[in-house]
Amino acid sequence: MEWLRFVRRKSWDEERARELESYLDHEIADNLARGMTAPEARAAAQRKLGNETLIREEIYRMNSLGFIESIWKDVAYALRGLRKGPGFTVVALLSLALGIGATTAIFSVIYGVLISPYPYARPGQIWAPVILDPQNPGRPFSFHQIRDYLELKKLPPFSETMATMPENRLLTGDRAPENFTSVSVTANAFQFLGVAPILGRSIQPSDLGPDGQPEPVIVLSFGAWKRLFDSSPEALGKRLVLNDQPYTVIGVMPPRFGWWTNDGGWLVLPEDPRDTRSVAAIMRLKPGVSPQAAEQQLQALHLRLAQEHPQDFPKGRFTTKLNNYLEITAASGAMQSSLVMLLGAVGFLLLIACANVANLQLARATSRAHEISVRMAVGAGRGRLLRQLLTESVVLSAVGGVLGVLLALAITKVVVVMMPDNYVPNEAVIGVNSYVLLFSAAVSVLTGILFGLAPAIKSSRPDLVDALKDAGRTAGAGSGGRTRNALVVAEIALSVVLLMGASLTVRGFLQLQQVAPGFQADRVLMMGVQLSPKRYVTYRQRVGFSEDVVAALSSIPGVQAVAIGNGGLPYAGQRSTYSIEGQPIDQSRQFALCLISSGYAQTLGIPLRAGRDLSAQEVARVDPLALINEAAARLWPVGTNPIGTRVHVDMLEKLPPSVPVPAASTPDMTIVGVIADTHNDGLRNPPAPALYLPYTVIATTGRTLAIRSAMQPTLLLNAVRERIRGIDKDQPLGRPITLEEVLGSETVQPRFNMALFSFFGFLGLALAAIGIYSMLSYTVARRTHEIGIRMALGARRGDVLRLMLSMAGRLVFLGLALGIGASLALAKFLRSEVFQVPGTDPIALAGVVVLLTLAACLACFVPGRRATKLDPMSALRHE
Amino acid sequence: MPPNDDHPLQREMLQGTLDLLILQSLVPGPAHGHTIAHVIEHRSEDVLQVEHGSLYPAVHRLETRGWIASFWGTSENNRKARYYRLTAMGRSQLEAQTNNWDRLVRAVNRVLRPAE
């Protein structure tokens, strides 16, 4: 090992010293033998040996690794240089910290939400089977009957299989009844997922009896533990009564564990082939088994099972697919798209920061051309100089990287607070973790090399003679000036693109704010009621309960109107094809169906445009009458009045057999009224054609209530709870929410986008302004001599200012033009939900131009003024 | 990295010569630095004066190349001294270098005395 010499050179040197000492002894002995006196003998010996230290030094150098030695020198030199120019150092560090910090923060969020959202063991190796029915491509089957799951589990390609069945149970006992999410999992689930409990134990295979019947035990989520037991360790061994059956609490999971629920608990799934409920299965594959091979075996099993009990599988041909769990469940859609766009934005920010630092470096290198040529003239090698300049850049970016990580911690925290929760998986935890640190370290070092290289190559190739003559004193904007100008233009162009993105999100958000929803959202309270299908079995029981609730709530003082709506509160529900009496059938068109009680339009504040509302008696009798909205009315031929015509609703013929329906029902409905359009398909989409039917056409267990109040709607909560408890004391209520909150959640994502894009857009603008500022002040400093001559020859202050401003103005204009061109070109490619308005929006464009021009003027002002304040005499003397 | 490999030809030749002489002086058996210098001076009948300042760096270089190996021993007059001995690699190097040297000497001679 060659380099070992380097480590051992200290002991080597001592060894050599001893050896030389022994040589001297020999020589002295010889000399004494030749008859010299002792001092003579020593002097002669030393003369013969020569300079002992020099010999040792030569050997020492032979053992050293020059590379490592000089790196230390370079680093020390770089630090000294940075301390000597504090202005440069501060601006460069700030640029870098902002660029690296923002990139790291956004990458942290992306890592937590998209790349590694789960705490489970090897989440990338979990597979979930799905049955695809070509007849019904939008509705994949992802559930298996328990008896099918028991067969599937035995297939050879799977090393481990688990199943999950989510259910709501009624939690009673000595507390207010509530709907409790209890997820039944197979007894091996916690081993499969590989997460340890923080208290007690998790479910074990021994919790399932040999007969396939489970022990009555429950593992609580962190949320349920906190809510029900105040995070007390006493919870272990306590009993919870779910659907009248007691379960013993055996353990509590950590906060990040959120398998299908993060505020409920987990029970043991019975493995009884007679049980007719369905479960969702996931599995891991044996090593070396490809997903395709497993898919084939699974498909073969499905085909066999479909022959045994065809009712559980799609009719006709179907295929089986294994999906990677990570791919199907990580945040997708709007959130994914906005995070990826944000990463692009901060990438631009990083580029701007790099351009800024490169520009500063280049300016510095130019003013150091003299120093460099002196060093080259006295014999410094080009490679050696290059390396030293590069070391400076890397040292700078390393310090910037550390600052950037600190900044990233802060930005990440802010982003997490602002992030809408329902876009992120239960289990996701976002923080600056070691992977992200690694990423940011890589970014900072790469940045250093990137911006260190260009100026380094440039300044290590100066024309020695010219530089030594200090040609720089009189030179205007030389070739170094061209590179600097190009960098400033690039910076401006990049920040224009960033600002365009920000400007578009702001426009989109404002437009969304201006959308009138079509109903009066203030003072409306909404609440879901879920009946127990075992306690409310018949049609009469279920509809009777709803009627009682509407009557009871209407009598609360301060309540103006009460309505039931399934779908349509405020967003439309299921869709159905239809046919209008006397018109040709068009299967491609659909109505959104809303099941309503009398007073629906009044409760939500939707004006009636024609005809009349349904009366309470008509709804109770299930008369075949219906309302439509204006969008639906436009589907009738022009000139015909929809009121009085009949519509055949296909969905009413295909009701699921398990849900009770009234004795006499018909799918043909007569239109009696037209109400105004509402944004029933989300604020961003046009109103969908909707048909409003009496809610009594079907007796589902779930109903949504809307209550219009004369005052602050949440003040009614206690009264509402009391009245419903008066009807059925064991009936839990869903979480109440106001209509305004529902609408607010529509704008959460756009607000998130707007805030972050604007933040990064302004950072980019600030960096670009710093770039313009430093470029111009550098130029003024360089051209002091020239300005002095101009003024001595009669130029006025105005002329000097114009000279400076026209130079900056050209760059700003060029950058602006390039940036706008680039963002228009990008807008063609980036069709994203993040931007609600087209990329060519003129108002957004105008905003960007005004902002950038203002910032550029500000950046030019100080150095421009400095140029005009120059005293010609001292400027001429300026060296 | 092999140190000082970029020396001009002239110095390279002289240095190589010193290396050759050191290797040759170790053929009879191990010797310490003082003896090596003596042997060279004595055998050349004092024509070649070994510059002691360059003897030790040369010895060190040969050792890092693995051509000689060293150990501490006791010298003839009962002093501690660092002894060097030829390694197998050193022996074959000596042979090769000696051949090179002979060829060089013959070539130089042919140039200097074309008549013979």
What span, in angstroms and rounded, lies between the C-alpha atoms of A5 and A754?
A: 60
Helix or strand or coil: residue A784?
helix
Q: Which two tokens stand for residue B87?
A: 């390694």
A479-514 and A842-868 helices, crossing angle to 10°: 140
Say which residue, A236 or A513, is predicted with more confidence.
A236
Tokens 């074959």 found at:
B92
Q: Test A22 with B4 for CB contact under 8 angstroms.
A: no
Q: In A534-642, where do the E strands start and end?
A: 559-566, 575-580, 590-596, 608-611, 625-629
Cα–Cα nearest to A103, from A360, A401, A550: A401
pLDDT (tens digit, 9 = 90+) per residue, A578-604?
888 888 877 777 888 888 999 898 998
Beta bridge partners of A527: A705
Say which residue, A421 or A798, is predicted with more confidence.
A798
pLDDT (tens digit, 9 = 90+) per residue, A786-844?
788 888 888 888 888 888 788 888 888 999 999 888 888 877 666 555 666 666 778 87
Average pLDDT of every residue of chain A: 81
Most confident of the following: A180-184, A342-346, A358-362, A485-489: A180-184
Say which residue, A685 or A149, is predicted with more confidence.
A149
Say which residue, A7 or A560, is predicted with more confidence.
A560
Q: Smallest Cβ distance to B56: which of A27, A29, A55?
A: A55
Q: Is the pLDDT of residue A697 over 50?
A: yes
**Phi, psi for A752 (deg, rounded to 5):** -60, -50
Query: Average of pLDDT values for A738-765?
Result: 81
Query: Average of pLDDT values for A390-417?
Result: 83
Q: Test A55 with B81 for CB contact under 8 angstroms.
A: no
Q: Is the pLDDT of residue A126 over 80?
A: yes
Q: What band does A464 get if pLDDT is binned at 50, 70 and 90?
A: low
Q: Are A219 and A231 contacting, i.e. CB atoms less than 8 angstroms apart?
A: no
- Which region holds residue A379: left if phi is over 0, alpha if psi is between -120 and 50, else beta? left
Query: Average of pLDDT values for A638-644?
Result: 88
Query: Average of pLDDT values for A603-608?
Result: 90
Query: Average of pLDDT values for A751-776?
Result: 82
Q: Is the pLDDT of residue A708 over 90?
A: yes
Q: CA triplet A193, A194, A197: central angle to 5 degrees?
A: 105
For chain B, the three-class secondary structure string (H helix, E strand, C coil) is: CCCCCCCCHHHHHHHHHHHHHHHHHCCCCCEEHHHHHHHHHHHCCCCCCCCHHHHHHHHHHHHHHCCEEEEEEECCCCCEEEEEEECHHHHHHHHHHHHHHHHHHHHHHHHHCCCC
Q: Is the pLDDT of residue A454 over 70?
A: no
Cα–Cα nearest to A152, from A298, A303, A323: A298
Shortest CA distance from B59: residue in chain A: A59
End-to-end CA distance of chain B: 45
pLDDT at A475: 43
Tokens 């199907």 found at:
A328
Q: Which two tokens stand for residue A708?
A: 């219009």
Which residues of chain B neighbour A20 with C-beta distances below 8 Å? 56
Q: How many CB pairs under 8 A join A and B?
A: 58
Which helix (H) or strand (E) segment holds residue A356: the answer is helix A334-367
Shortest CA distance from B78: residue in chain A: A26
* CA A633 to each of CA A591, A598, A638, A639: distance values in angstroms, whole numbers, following the listed order: 11, 20, 9, 11
Q: Are A669 and A581 contacting, i.e. CB atoms less than 8 angstroms apart?
A: no
Which helix (H) or strand (E) segment holds residue A200: the answer is strand A199-200
What span, in angstroms and rounded, lies between the C-alpha atoms of A216 and A233?
A: 20
Shortest CA distance from A65: residue in chain B: B1
The size of chain B, in residues, is: 116
What span, in angstroms and rounded, lies between the C-alpha atoms of A757 and A102?
A: 11
pLDDT (tens digit, 9 = 90+) per residue, B61-90?
888 888 898 888 887 777 778 888 888 888
Q: Test B79 with A27 for CB contact under 8 angstroms.
A: no
Contact residues, A window 50-79, toward B, CB-based 8 Å cutoff = 50-51, 54-55, 58-59, 61-62, 65
Shortest CA distance from B77: residue in chain A: A26
pLDDT at A569: 66
Q: Is the pLDDT of residue A373 over 70?
A: yes
Which residues of chain B neighbour A19 with C-beta distances below 8 Å? 33, 56, 81-82
For residue B36, the distance in angstroms to the closest alpha carbon of chain A comes to 11
Q: Test B60 with A5 for CB contact under 8 angstroms.
A: no
For residue A48, the distance in angstroms to the closest alpha carbon of chain B comes to 7
Q: Test A26 with B34 for CB contact under 8 angstroms.
A: yes
Q: Test A58 with B3 for CB contact under 8 angstroms.
A: no
Burial of residue A494, with CB atoms counted within 10 A of its CB: 0-12 exposed, 13-18 middle, 19 or more buried: buried
Q: Test B52 with A26 for CB contact under 8 angstroms.
A: no
A361-375, A560-574, A731-745, B76-90: least confident range: A361-375
Which residue numbers in chain B have pLDDT < 50?
A: 1-13
Query: Average of pLDDT values for A491-519?
Result: 83
Most confident of the following: A336-340, A432-436, A614-618, A657-661: A614-618
Q: Is the pLDDT of residue A514 over 60?
A: yes
pLDDT at A1: 42
**Phi, psi for A625 (deg, rounded to 5):** -120, 155
End-to-end CA distance of chain A: 54
DSSP state of A561: E
Q: Test A19 with B1 for CB contact under 8 angstroms.
A: no
What span, in angstroms and rounded, lies between the C-alpha atoms of A567 and A596?
A: 8
What span, in angstroms and rounded, lies between the C-alpha atoms of A746 and B23?
A: 89
**Phi, psi for A509 (deg, rounded to 5):** -65, -45
For residue A462, the distance in angstroms to the closest alpha carbon of chain B comes to 27
Mutate to test the interface with A, among B32, B34, B41, B55 (most CBs of A within 10 A): B34
What span, in angstroms and rounded, lies between the C-alpha atoms of A687 and A863?
A: 56
Which residues of chain B neighbour A27 with C-beta distances below 8 Å? 34
A242-251, A334-343, B79-88: least confident range: A334-343
β-bridge pairing A590-596 and A690-694: parallel
pLDDT at B42: 82
pLDDT at A382: 72
Burial of residue A336, with CB atoms counted within 10 A of its CB: 0-12 exposed, 13-18 middle, 19 or more buried: middle
Say which residue, A751 or A838, is predicted with more confidence.
A751
Q: What band does A188 get if pLDDT is binned at 50, 70 and 90?
A: very high
The predicted complex's ipTM stands at 0.72
For residue A394, the distance in angstroms to the closest alpha carbon of chain B comes to 26
